[in-house]
Chains A and B, each alone.
Chain A
Amino acid sequence: MRRALLLLAALALAAPALTGCAAPAVAVYQREHLVDPIMAFQATAKQDARRVRAFEAREGSTGGVGGEGGGCACK
């Protein structure tokens, strides 16, 4: 359990460095496609949560949505 907690904390702290530094800057006015309903994570968050619950009742694993939040990186 302690190892899992340490792993989670390390990943949370390292994630911006792992995913962010290599990407070029995208200005706010260039992000219109990212908030489109066919692209945004938030648009299907509730449906994703319902689907995970349905799969939990039929399969042996769980997870995949990280709660319903997670931020959109495109505010």
Chain B
Amino acid sequence: MTCGLGRGLAAAAFGALLATPAAAQLPGDSNTANGLFRMFVDSKHVLVRSLVEDFSVPLRGDADLSLHWNHERVTIPAIAAPAGSQEAIDAITTASRPIEGDAYQDFEKTRNELQGEVKRGGASVGYYHSIESDYLAHQVSASYDRGFRDEQTNVSVGTSWGWDDIKPLADQRSVTRADHKNTLHLNAVATQILTPTSVVRLGVEYNHVTGLQHNPYRLVYAGGASVPERHPETRDRRDAFLRFHQYLDNRSSLKLDYRLYDDDWGILSHEVTGALSQYVVDGFYARYQYRWYTQSAADFWRPEYATTQGVNGYLTGDYRLSRLSSHLFGVSLNADLGALAPDSPKLRRFAVSLDYERYFNSNNYSADILETGLQFRF
């Protein structure tokens, strides 16, 4: 029944998406097209290349349509240890990719993601679709926000329902079977102007997840044997966040964020982020960012399991459920050619950005993330 409801809402969202764009727009209207290339490479040599396109156009009746497409290619490297060695056996056993045929070749997969949203007034509805060889995800969403006291305060509520079909590829280590995962999301966010140079946002979020939540390919050493990973089939996840933005006198800004998270698997986490943005000249600014994160372990996470029953029947080889902390440093350059070259009829329509982030955590894991973006206004 829930699936039928979800599909009905998806159909409604698609119907809204098919609404005709406004026929004539004056120059300078808010039509935008954004292209972005993102490259992620980590210390395990996993490579993710993303090509993202975003479009935004006004519709009739004061509505706006935004479309998002993401084409992603993921490369998980081949097992590097010599064939037949204990290191190779361990790597194959604990791999989070399917092992079928030659484990000594790279595993590649492609993901395509499409998202559409229609906004009118304070209301919006959206639909999200993601497809890859072993995972199909759908989500419908809706939100409503309203301003109070001459828009000095804004309150928003949102919800989404996601239903995912998981069809693991053939795997020579164990028998995998098709499964599903459903996610109900709720959020409430309040934004408040404090002074002409400061604003604060407070939000709470809740996610209720049911279905398959472990990696269907991963095996765990337990009681002297290799057994499939097994996580609980329900998870309640809650978080609250506070974001404070302050404009500073020298054409710069300071952003401070804090997030508190907990769930019924026993994970409690804290996240603190600080970002400093500074204009160099009109239309060109740099942003420096630092993020610190820490979390406790899930109740059933253990470095080793004495029996194949694990803890209360659950076993995990997922380091994300262990105790960990992480740091991220980032720098970003953003140039709006509309301000840098206002007399050029072509250039003034563009904005460009370049972002680099360095991430590392206490699990001896690190990653480099590079983003280049181009925006065109028409």
Show the binding face of A for B, using Cβ within 8 Å. 1, 4-5, 7-9, 11-12, 15-16, 18-20, 23-28, 30-31, 33-34, 36-39, 41, 46-47, 50, 54-55, 58-64, 66-67, 69-75
Given A26-B152, A33-B247, A41-B191, A58–B359 Cβ distance below 8 Å?
A: yes
Alpha-carbon separation in the docked complex, A58 to B369 (Å): 13
Chain A residues lying within 8 Å of B112, measured Cβ to Cβ, are none
Task: Say which residue of A9, A34, A67 sits within 8 Å of B193 (CB atoms).
Answer: A34
Chain B residues lying within 8 Å of A66, measured Cβ to Cβ, are 156, 158, 187-189, 201, 203, 205, 241
Closest chain B residue to A41, Cβ basis: B201
Alpha-carbon separation in the docked complex, A26 to B199 (Å): 11
Alpha-carbon separation in the docked complex, A24 to B68 (Å): 38
Asked whether B143 is an interface residue with its Cβ less than 8 Å from the other chain, the reply is yes
* Cβ contact within 8 Å between B155 and A63: no
Asked whether B285 is an interface residue with its Cβ less than 8 Å from the other chain, the reply is yes
Shortest CB–CB separation between residue B68 and chain A, in angstroms? Answer: 8
Alpha-carbon separation in the docked complex, A46 to B253 (Å): 19
Scoring B189, B197, B324 by chain A CB atoms within 10 A of each residue's CB, the highest score goes to B189
Question: Quick one: CB contact mask for B317-358 with A, threshold 8 Å, 1 for yes?
Answer: 000110010100000001010000000000000000001000
Asked whether B167 is an interface residue with its Cβ less than 8 Å from the other chain, the reply is no
Shortest CB–CB separation between residue B65 and chain A, in angstroms? Answer: 14
Alpha-carbon separation in the docked complex, A33 to B279 (Å): 13
Alpha-carbon separation in the docked complex, A11 to B202 (Å): 10
Chain B residues lying within 8 Å of A34, measured Cβ to Cβ, are 193, 196-197, 199, 247
State which of B12-20, B231-239, B304-312 sits at the interface with chain A. B231-239
* Cβ contact within 8 Å between B295 and A19: no
Between-chain CB contacts (< 8 Å), 27 pairs: A4-B186, A8-B206, A15-B155, A15-B188, A19-B192, A27-B150, A28-B150, A30-B196, A31-B196, A37-B285, A38-B253, A38-B278, A38-B287, A41-B199, A58-B361, A59-B269, A59-B293, A59-B361, A64-B205, A64-B241, A66-B188, A67-B141, A67-B156, A70-B154, A73-B147, A73-B153, A74-B151
Task: Say which residue of B192, B204, B259, B369 sits within 8 Å of A8 (CB atoms).
Answer: B204
